[in-house]
Structure 1
């Protein structure tokens, strides 16, 4: 499907007027941000488009726990202060996923491979000792390894793996997770590891026998298991937006 233009307008890129900055700073102490205060987990992973697996992106997830069966995550293109909110991911337990009908399951992906392989990593503050961070990561990932995610991309990804357009153009898109070796763009993975000062290879070794998931439930990852790359398509002047293979 056509990819919308991804140029950034240089005249306003990254600019915030002094008036807007002062207004934001003055308003913050007066307002409530309760839903955001519930965010308690942060992870960095990679997503791809099921209908075009060459389009991949590094994604930073900030998640809150609704209950034992449900999480919800705000997904950004970086961990910087001016990062773009590019997607939303809902995460559910295996128990809840098994209750979905087959038509709904087609939108969901498993987390087994990315948790076991080292692709999904927990982020931590710079001053947290490495050993403390490692010990905290294992139980978090063991909790996630048997979960399922539904990710809606709001900001289009260009061919370079970036959300470089000025606005989130086009319809929402379905994103999925990796399920096997050989799928991830190695250059993108190298950039992610370099930015986080980690090694995915070492992460995988650390998790052997410690992070281990159940067999993926039938109906998840249909883009690869059944060759059904479901996506949202916009037919433009026909006035139709639909999800189809």
Structure 2
């Protein structure tokens, strides 16, 4: 059974909503969602936990532009109305990354490999021909391949890609992106391909010699050399 299965909630204890119908009515008549209206890109990738590379999860990104050097993305566990918000990613240009102090760069990963390899794919509507999607991906991928991301996962997932607790538990966890073939679980790629009805292998072939990034800037992807940093869940506790 999925670990995020619904649980009974005592209505006398104060719920966050009086019902989906009421919320829908509020959306229709009262509320403004201007920041969300600026979301203009949807991408699916696979993240890895650097201190436990066996933990890899599919991540659906919905991104807006701050300016030409900065994007901000909401990350969900699936592309569905009932999706859970599991994290955030900030994406910056190579130019901006190069201005960061070296001690900050340890939190950031490159996008070169995932763009070139086909791991990062555009989320398209059902029925859109793959030829159309491939053409639409090209221009943004030519930009993204030279960008850097800082990803915080707020809601841990289990091995099935389900939220591992009824509410988000523990401190945020820093996630990374892949830099080489041997790091990626092919079973996870196959799972993602099935979910999206795509072929990562075909994407990779289409991008060979077309989507080509710059060499990765110094300081990024430090997890690959064994330099891993995470927030410690018990750092507030005094050592005895």
TM-score by length of 1: 0.89
Checking the alignment, whether the CA contact within 8 Å between 1:55 and 1:161 is kept in structure 2 is no
Corresponding position: 1:77 with 2:73: no
- Equivalent residue for 1:235? 234
Q: Give the structure with the larger strand fraction.
A: 1
Checking the alignment, whether the CA contact within 8 Å between 2:77 and 2:161 is kept in structure 1 is no
Q: Which runs of 5+ in 1 are unaligned?
A: 1-5, 241-245
- Equivalent residue for 1:40? 40
- Equivalent residue for 1:152? 152
Q: Which runs of 5+ in 2 are unaligned?
A: 10-14
Q: Measure the CA separation in 1 of the matches of 2:73 and 2:16.
A: 30
Label 1:166 to 1:112 Cα distance change in 2 as closer, same or farther (>3 A): same
Corresponding position: 1:8 with 2:7: no
Return the offset for 1:155. Answer: 0.4
- Equivalent residue for 2:207? 207
Q: Deviations over 1:189-223 (max 9, x none)?
A: 11100111111111000001110100000000000
Number of aligned positions between the proteins? 232
- Equivalent residue for 1:127? 127
Q: Measure the CA separation in 2 of the matches of 1:23 and 1:10.
A: 20
Q: Deviations over 1:20-44 (max 9, x none)?
A: 1221111002111000000000000
Q: Measure the CA separation in 1 of the matches of 2:91 and 2:52.
A: 23
- CA-based RMSD of the aligned residues comes to 2.1
- Equivalent residue for 1:243? none
- Equivalent residue for 1:194? 194
Label 1:92 to 1:199 Cα distance change in 2 as closer, same or farther (>3 A): same
Instruction: Determine helix, strand or coil for the equivalent of 2:64.
Output: strand
Q: Measure the CA separation in 2 of the matches of 1:229 and 1:19.
A: 43
Q: Deviations over 1:57-113 (max 9, x none)?
A: 000000001111000000000001110100000000000000000110000000000
Corresponding position: 1:60 with 2:56: no
Checking the alignment, whether the CA contact within 8 Å between 2:112 and 2:146 is kept in structure 1 is yes
Q: Which moved more, 1:137-146 or 1:32-41?
A: 137-146
